[in-house]
Structure 1
Amino acid sequence: MFGSYSSLYIMRKAILLLFLFGLSFQNFLAQKNYQKEFRQVDSILGSHYDQKKPGIAVAIIKEEKTIYKNQIGMADLEQEISISDSTAFHIASVSKQFTAFLALLLEKEGKLSMSDDIRKYLPELKDLPFKINLYQLANHTHGLPNLNELAHLIGIGPQDRMTHKEAIKMLLNIKTTNFKPGEKYEYNNTGLALLAEIIERVEEKSFQQALKDKVFEPSGMMRSNAVDSPALIVKNKAHSYKLEHGTYVNYPFNLKSNGSTGISTTINDMGKWASMFQNPSPEAKEIFQEMQKPTKLNSGKVVQYGLGLEFKNYKGLNLVFHGGGDSGYRSYILHVPKFQFSVVILGNNNDFTPLEVVYQIVDTFLKDHLKEPLPPKKTHYTERELKSFEGTYEMFPGTYYNIIAESDTLYFQSYGTKDKAPLPVIGDGEFLFPYIPTAKLSFYKNGFIFHIADFKYDCEKITLETIRPEEVKFTDFTGLYKNEELNSIFELVIQDAVLMAKHCSDEDIVLQPLAKDSFYSRKSFFGKLDFIRNTQGKIVKFKVSGQNLKDIEFVRIHD
């Protein structure tokens, strides 16, 4: 009996060994099939990064398995600590998909409804003029002003610290919207930050703990956390850097807002998230499908953004992706669902290189499935044809550009300046903007789209009044102006024959006359000021508009 048991045991062990050897051999063959591609990716990374400089962590996931992983560069230049697969990176707006996933999970549990009015959970926003639902918070159609620009209006700049709780306190005082909810898609951070606050209230625990309990731990992401304060210590942290005059300097990220940003994670953990996206549980699959539904505006126009995820077609491939960037941190996650192929990139240098690298990786691995775009039909323009593009264009209130045609060249010029920069022709109404990597201008009738990375900014042709400073009586506008909701005061003064806006916590802002009672500045959060006079003709207030801001009112409290 013992002898036959021993034979059975030996036979089973032999079969198990053969099975394991078969799996190993299959994995070896799979790895071997990609050896050429792996070497090409090594070469791509080596051409962009240096072991002694800020760098990058990369993972490629195929059919749930991480088939490639590499790290190049330094996580900490001062301590000379290299990036590893356990280095924690701030992933900026890639955080948004985790907030959306958690909100949809809570909806399945019956704790909230994405169709609800946000005032059901945030009664502090009772003075809002319109209903905004939770979907609109997550798909950027809510119309609320952006928290980053609002922070600037109270004097919080890149060098200043702001916690998530302080950001939420500021947001809960909002009383106006930039537009009627659902009318436009306007990417910003306010919506997902407020969604994180709603999650805290329905879960009756911190957003960090809710995310850990319901998303991170079930996904095996044990090194991931939501960081809500600049004071918190993050173990194995990659520091943020930027290059200034040939030298790397610290570029700290001090404005913390959970929900829209704030997650700290590793390349290993993000690989697990990508793997779960490729082969989710039935419940997670339903949630990911909901997140991938394009947004439909009130007009019926469809926007290729869902709930924390974006979509596009790249060389014939349907992609699901999202990028992130705060200070020197850069992150990107891209999926090609048809081939169960994903790329994750985490970096700590303030540049556009990760975006270039991720698409070079897609080109390398999926080259046999790519369809190169057709060559442009029109690649040369006469001066007369270029003249049709000429004009002044508004990107945001206060941010204006001149397009100028001279000879056979189109030029780009910031409004109010003398310098102009040539725009090389790409073709079919498109012109390269070589001064920012990945940027270009695509013209349409009376406008152009300014493409920068994955962002598209609509710039419409406008007519601006021409007014000289000597035609404006600056003394009409001087005084103290206060916004009650933000509890913020600006003083307008005349300094060196120029009207200036001063704030106790920020740099002075030069105001240039735009029209009789309007000024503009070079600051996107303080782009355009429209002054209001009373019946006696005296200035009583101004409304400031800019990037992700519209008509924020400051009332004159003292001449």
Structure 2
Amino acid sequence: MRINKLDAKTKEKIDSIFTEWDRPGSPGCALAVTINNEVVYAKGYGFAQLEYGIPITADTIFHVASVSKQFTTMAIALLAAEGSVDLAAPVHSYLPELPRFEQEITVRQLVHHTSGLRDQWELLMAAGWRLDDVITQEHLLKIIMRQKDLNFAPGEQYLYCNSGYTLLAEIVKRVTGKTLRQFAAERIFQPLGMTNTHFHDDHTEIVENRAYSYAPKGEKDWRKSILSYAAVGATSVFTTVKDLAKWLANFSHGKVGGEEVLKIMNSRYALNNGEEIFYGFGLMFEEYKGVTEIGHSGSDAGFRSWCGRVEPHGLGISILANFANAVPREYARRIIDILLADKLAAEKKEETKPLPLPRITGTFLLQRSGERLELTEENGSLFLQTEDLPEPVVLKPQGKVNNYKSASPQIEIEISFSEEEDSGEIRCLLTRRTMALGRKMPDYTLTAGELAMYEGEYYSSELDSTYRIALQDNQLTVSFQRHPTVNLIPWGAAHFVYEKALVPGTELKFTKKDGEITGFKLSGGRIRNVDFTKK
């Protein structure tokens, strides 16, 4: 492969996307761009290991998080084409120990995130785990097998679910007698010459030339973001942008799998109501300015990634980053804008309904940090007050509907608003150095006496965990093993939201019988109605 065939002006435009991180003391990104399966530009920006000042190159090995999913589905597609796996068969055909839910889950529903299974990472956090713990395949399988209910009936909805991909890895192992790492090495990576790629199923294994991950610390500094996964299927491929270029080329020449398998990989799924979803076999199909992006992003610890094709123009882009506030897909789209400038259509105008200022004023809770935002209206202008600003800043409308930006050039803040279709709740996305989701707080309060009725210990057999709810200084709190005590904010009748949570949207809805509290249902972004019973 010939590298760096782009002209100097085009390279300069691409490099400018990554300038902010291409400096000493900063993590960064690796990039590979292919046109018609040939690498035309590959480069590294920033540093792979800040402790030793090791720079990122196009040969640096990254953990690519959920970009891994397309390799898991390739393994399943190969076995399906050979007749070893039936995509329409119940998962119980291969994993009889999976709990018996009211409706059977098929292998295909695991692939397309339509199984209804609760997500493994959120289950672990709800059970008291930290995501920087050592987490093995066995740990994940145990908590998946403890579940008694689904988020929804299989095929009814699309909801991204890592648990399904852990089960797909286990299906490969049961059918072939080989681990996913072994099978992928023999049938995918070695045939494609991806010599720097493997499923990382041993957290103690030394990998030369690998990047470590980081997260922002304050406005300018960085901290380590620890990742010790020894689990595969949903995540844990280690690879380089150059190897990913070889993978993208396979979608054209089909050396691995051939036409039949590639057809499976590019297949979509229709929900029970006939609606076709955008998610294929570990690949997302999305439209951008008249072209089709076919790829996947990834996010674990401080690692961020995007790898995909842009059709029908034969463009391939792989971006791997080792800092938590990186947005590789956004960087990829900026590269698309540069390389396909004369071929792109204008962006479609949003059909979003504008929200009047009174709907977006009030107090918003950012659950990741516990911070509150105050939005007020004065003489037709919108003002934002955050906990770290000495005074409110004026927000000016910014391009897209319901998007605003600080009017002060010294304060870099953007905020967008949306309305939930089902509940009508107003939400916001605040962008400073990182992005944070917020929910508009209801005007709802309870007296200390009303809060006291919720005190007690609650146990979940699905998590094998006990939560303790207590009233402290007229504030209801929840605590459980290895996690800090968190304030509970009244959100409605028998409904409380975590003031601070790793997963925005985490909430409790209490159940009653004969006027007495009997338990609650815990829900988050990808888990719904996990049952707790009052002791």
**What is the CA–CA distance in structure 1 between the aligned matches of 2:374 and 2:285, rounded to whole Å?**
31
For residues 185 and 439 of structure 1, the distance between their equivalents in structure 2, rounded to whole angstroms, comes to 27
1:310 deviates by: 0.9
Look up the match of 1:294.
268
In structure 2, C-alpha distance between the alignment counterparts of 1:35 and 1:214, rounded to whole Å? 39
Helix, strand or coil for the counterpart of 1:345? strand
**Corresponding residue number in structure 2 for 1:367:** 341
- Partner of residue 501 from structure 1, selected from 464, 475, 478: 478
Q: State the Cα distance separating 1:86 from its structure 2 match.
A: 2.7
SS of corresponding position for 1:162: strand
Cα distance in structure 2, aligned partners of 1:421 and 1:547: 31
- Checking the alignment, whether the CA contact within 8 Å between 2:451 and 2:471 is kept in structure 1 is no
The one-letter amino acid paired with 2:510 is F
Identity over the aligned pairs, expressed in percent?
28
Deviation at 1:82, TM superposition (A): 1.8
Map 1:52-451 → 2, pairs under 5 A: 52-245=25-218, 246-281=220-255, 283-373=257-347, 385-387=356-358, 407-409=379-381, 424-426=396-398, 429-432=401-404, 440-441=416-417, 446=424
Equivalent pair of 1:441/1:449 in contact (CA under 8 Å)? yes
The equivalences for 1:481-492 within 5 A come to 481-492=458-469
What displacement does 1:464 show?
5.8
Judge which range, 159-168 or 41-50, deviates more.
41-50
What is the alpha-carbon distance in structure 1 between the residues aligned to residue 393 and residue 531 of structure 2?
36
Distance 1:355 1:452 in 2: 18
Contact 1:526-1:545 within 8 A present in 2 as well: yes
1:527 and 2:506 are equivalent in the alignment? yes
Report SS of the residue matched to 2:134.
coil
What does the per-residue CA deviation read over 1:72-96, in whole Å, with 9 as the maximum and x for residues that have no partner?
Answer: 2211111222223332100011011
Checking the alignment, whether the CA contact within 8 Å between 2:291 and 2:311 is kept in structure 1 is no
Secondary structure of the 2:208 match is coil
What is the Cα-based RMSD across aligned positions, in Å? 3.7
8 Å Cα contact 1:540/1:555 also seen in 2? yes
Q: Distance in 1 between matches of 2:415 and 2:150?
A: 29
In 2, the alpha carbon distance for the partners of 1:51 and 1:357 equals 21
Going from structure 1 to structure 2, the CA distance change for 1:210 and 1:375 (only over 3 Å counts) comes to closer
CA distance in 1, matches of 2:177, 2:34: 36
Moved more, 442-451 or 285-294: 442-451
Check conservation: 2:509, 2:520, Cα contact below 8 A: yes
Query: Separation in 2 of the partners of 1:437 and 1:266?
Result: 34
SS in 2 for 1:529: strand
- Deviation at residue 252 of structure 1 after TM alignment: 0.9
CA drift at 1:357: 2.3
CA 1:430 to 1:130, structure 2 compared with 1: closer, same or farther past 3 Å? same
Residue 156 (structure 1) shift: 0.8
Q: Decide whether aligned partners of structure 1 residues 161 and 433 sit closer, same or farther in structure 2, where only a CA change above 3 A counts.
A: farther
Mapped partners of 1:377, 1:539: distance in 2: 44
* Residue identity in the other structure for 1:93: S
Q: Which runs of 5+ in 1 are unaligned?
A: 1-23
Unaligned runs of 5+ in 2: none
Separation (CA, whole Å) in 2 of partners of 1:354 and 1:77? 20
- Specify the structure having the higher radius of gyration (Cα): 1
Distance across 1 between alignment mates of 2:336 and 2:416 = 21
CA contact (8 A) 2:417 2:427 kept: yes
- Bigger proportion of residues as helix: 1
Task: Verify the 8 A CA contact 1:480 1:490 in the aligned structure 2.
Answer: yes
Which residue in 2 is equivalent to 1:543? 521
**How many matched pairs?**
515
Shift of residue 426, structure 1, vs aligned partner:
4.3
Q: Which secondary structure does the structure 2 equivalent of 1:555 belong to?
A: strand
1:367 is displaced (CA, Å) by 1.0
The amino acid across from 1:252 in the alignment is I
Secondary structure of 1:549's counterpart equals: coil
Per-residue CA deviations over 1:52-83 (Å, capped at 9, x if unaligned) read 42111111111121111111221111122222
2:24–2:53 Cα contact (<8 Å) kept? no
